[in-house]
Structure 1
Amino acid sequence: MAARNDRAGIDDRWFKKVRQPDGTTTTEKSAVHGKVARWRVRWVVDGREHTKVFERKADAQAHLNHLTAEVVKGSYVSPHKSAVLFRDVAQEWLDGKGARKAKTVAGYKSLLDTLILPKWGDMKLSDITHGDLQRWISGLSVNGSTKTEGKGLSASRVIQAHQCFGAVLKYAQRTDRVGRNVAEGIELPSKGESERRYLTHKQLQTLARHAERFETLTLVLGYCGLRFGEAVALRGRDVKDKQITVRTSVTNVTGQGLLEDTTKTNRARWVPVPAFIWERLQAELPVDGDALVFPGRDGGWLTTGEYRWQFDPAAIETGVPGLVPHELRHTCASLAIASGANILAVQRLLGHQTASMTLDRYGHLFSDDLEKVAKSLDTAGKKALKSTAV
């Protein structure tokens, strides 16, 4: 903590006080007069003196006032603590993410290695300013990073880079390396709304038929709303009594390959299977309860690439070129809502953390015809009036 003592304050380095034999004090030029910055701010932290020099006294006074305010607020950070390199703090922060999913940690590492550290890794925390960070963030959309120079990044990737950078600085703030997080208040690019495609029943079933050996899997994705990794992780014991128990998910982690982990929300969920799909699914279930329901050709986990070898041509045949497997999950939400499912039912079906998340993504699919609402209320109200009339 910063403390006041007789060494703290502002010194004039060009002039010095000299005591005369008669006891009076005079001001004389110092040996460094005109050779160095004139004004020096001195302050003491835990018995250790720190200094900073300025050409103008007004600037020196402003710095001293700033230091004093930080001490009062409790946000003062010792210069030797903030002199640590960004890459060292980033590594500490990353090391503390061991409890996160492997794919999440790999994503952080990718952002650091490809975007953030090449620019900021060897910079001291104390040298990182809000303005410099804003210019870098703005430039990513146009010029990319030092490793992708000349190729602008997508808005989503820029936002991810900012979130990761801000998380490292937030950790630095918690560990008393910086007094404030300069990543706060940065203007970010707008992601814009990407148009989602929702297949009809006919399109979905046509797609499944053209997917050939993956017909049942495609129907499960489109009617049960499983994520691809969740479907790939299913074992025989997970499918019974006309429902699927989703316990785990398989993801492709950079540098580690396919890994099985808990679901995105870390919770199991139970998904009902429509009768016409259940009949097909039962016929394909493995005898061994531990065996995979939808294995790859090698008997192991099915990869996205192997599935899309059949899926992509099937999408073209169906008239929806460029369709990706995850859009089958959106299709499931759309078909469920069209069939009368409420927002909570759709949330449980898809395994979203909250109903608000489901509403944010699919709320536009629910009818907003207020006239119909008024008519329904009118009908119900009149019926109640008749039943209570004397």
Structure 2
Amino acid sequence: MRKERSAVYGKVARWRVRWVDDSGREQSKVFRLKEAAQAHLDQVTADVVRGEYVNARNSQVTFGVVAKEWLAGKGTRKPKTVAGYESLLDHLVLPRWRGVKLKDITHGDVQRWVSGLSANGSVRMEGRGLSASRVIQAHQCMSAVLKYAIRTDRLAKNVAAGIELPRKAEAERRCLTHGQLWDLAERVGEHKAVTLVMGYCGLRIGEVRALRFKDLRDQTLTVRASVTKVTGKGFIEATTKTHRTRWVPVPQVVWELLPSGDDDALVFPGRDGFLTDFEYRRAFDQAAKDVGVPGLVPHELRHTCASLAIAAGATILAVQRLLGHETASMTLDLYGHLYSDDLTNVANALDTAARALSA
């Protein structure tokens, strides 16, 4: 790379910076001032050394074009996940960034956009802000597109990094007692067994929908699939959230309530196929009110399962396997507070064991 004084502009002195890009092509740019030319040369040199050099022409492409490419590459993800990306792009991200060139997006612009979503970003209710969770999802989606632009040599850095995001409120995880769980199950009518399977086996509602009679063997559930409803596509059956099969033992009292049927038939069908949210929630929501836990959602039965298992002496590893978490650390983060931290109990247990040897 070198700089040359150019006479092509007549009497006005110009300074031309020449360099070779990462594809081997010579590039050049002209400056009026020598200082500006030197600064540009220094910047290009530094970018090349750090491996961050990007041809300016590459960043002329609009965000919308890159977002379309990025989304097209998500074909291997679950349909519900892809639908979630599409929703974020269509309603929150692209309306602001679709026609903006990558080179024109600044950190400040992204920060103002994020702050605006928190203040009045609601699509359905004008003047209302989005929840912290939704704002964070929108930012993550935009940032993912920019990271893709970096990988495809259109950007040198992610200007969406380091943005001040809203804080999510700590979610309340309600856990039922054995008595509350059975009281709830008795009040949901035909969905009693569904409720107890979620409450004692920790299945997600999508995993319950996908259960077939061939998955019920030797008082154990084989959880190999999950069924979710995707807007515009109906019910989609796919692998579990972690893409892994797990085997969940069923308490005898719950096993005795499970129906029987042909291997490929659904254990808990709906009226027209898979069990719908409406069919289950219609009975569940009223039952929750009746037992004194209004607003309870089916996923909290999964928390109930974890709580009851821990109270029964289950280890973190056992709870992880029961619920199908990716890692034990995730289980610990969610439910570690349910374990006793009283070291006196530990000392007493050690004392009892030691005394037994000398008895």
TM-superposition CA deviations, 1:290-334 (whole Å, max 9, x none): 111111122x00011111111111111111111111111110111
Report sequence identity in percent.
Answer: 61
Other-structure match for 2:117: 140
Find runs of 4+ consecutive structure 1 residues off by over 6 angstroms.
Answer: 10-13, 38-41, 145-148
Other-structure match for 2:303: 330
Q: Name the SS for the 1:214 alignment partner.
A: helix
Q: Are 2:260 and 1:285 aligned?
A: yes
What amino acid is the match of 1:51?
A: K
Other-structure match for 1:319: 292
Q: Name the SS for the 2:29 alignment partner.
A: strand
Other-structure match for 1:339: 312
What amino acid is the match of 1:285?
A: S
Aligned residues: 356
What amino acid is the match of 1:358?
A: T
Quote how far apart the aligned CAs of 1:161 are.
Answer: 1.4
Distance 2:222 2:335 in 1: 24
User: Unaligned stretches of 5+ in structure 1?
Assistant: 17-27, 31-37
Match of 2:330 among 335, 357, 360: 357
Other-structure match for 1:210: 187
Match of 2:66 among 69, 81, 89: 89
Other-structure match for 1:182: 159
Contact 2:17/2:37 (CA < 8 Å) preserved in 1? no
Q: Name the SS for the 1:193 alignment partner.
A: coil
Quote how far apart the aligned CAs of 1:273 are.
Answer: 0.8
Matches within 5 A, 1:1-390: 4-5=1-2, 8=3, 30=12, 42-44=17-19, 45=21, 46-47=24-25, 49-51=27-29, 61-144=38-121, 150-281=127-258, 284-286=259-261, 288-298=262-272, 300-384=273-357, 386=358
Q: Name the SS for the 1:280 alignment partner.
A: coil
Distance 1:356 1:131 in 2: 35
Distance 1:257 1:161 in 2: 24
Residues 11 and 69 of structure 1, relative CA distance in 2, 3 Å threshold: farther
Residues 119 and 50 of structure 1, relative CA distance in 2, 3 Å threshold: farther
Quote how far apart the aligned CAs of 1:51 are.
Answer: 3.3
Contact 1:224/1:272 (CA < 8 Å) preserved in 2? yes
Distance 1:146 1:236 in 2: 43
- Which has more radius of gyration? 1
Residues 252 and 40 of structure 1, relative CA distance in 2, 3 Å threshold: farther
TM-superposition CA deviations, 1:343-377 (whole Å, max 9, x none): 11111111111111111111111111122112222
Quote how far apart the aligned CAs of 1:289 are.
Answer: 1.2
Residues 342 and 73 of structure 1, relative CA distance in 2, 3 Å threshold: same
Distance 2:16 2:229 in 1: 55
Give the TM-score of the pair, scaled to structure 2. Answer: 0.92
Quote how far apart the aligned CAs of 1:242 are.
Answer: 0.8
Residues 304 and 42 of structure 1, relative CA distance in 2, 3 Å threshold: same
Q: Name the SS for the 2:130 alignment partner.
A: coil
Distance 2:121 2:252 in 1: 50
Give the TM-score of the pair, scaled to structure 1. Answer: 0.85
What amino acid is the match of 1:359?
A: L
Quote how far apart the aligned CAs of 1:40 are.
Answer: 6.5
Distance 2:40 2:125 in 1: 39
Distance 2:145 2:154 in 1: 11
Quote how far apart the aligned CAs of 1:66 are.
Answer: 1.8
Residues 357 and 162 of structure 1, relative CA distance in 2, 3 Å threshold: same
Distance 1:340 1:295 in 2: 34
User: Unaligned stretches of 5+ in structure 2?
Assistant: none
Distance 1:343 1:217 in 2: 25
Quote how far apart the aligned CAs of 1:236 are.
Answer: 1.1
What amino acid is the match of 2:293?
A: V
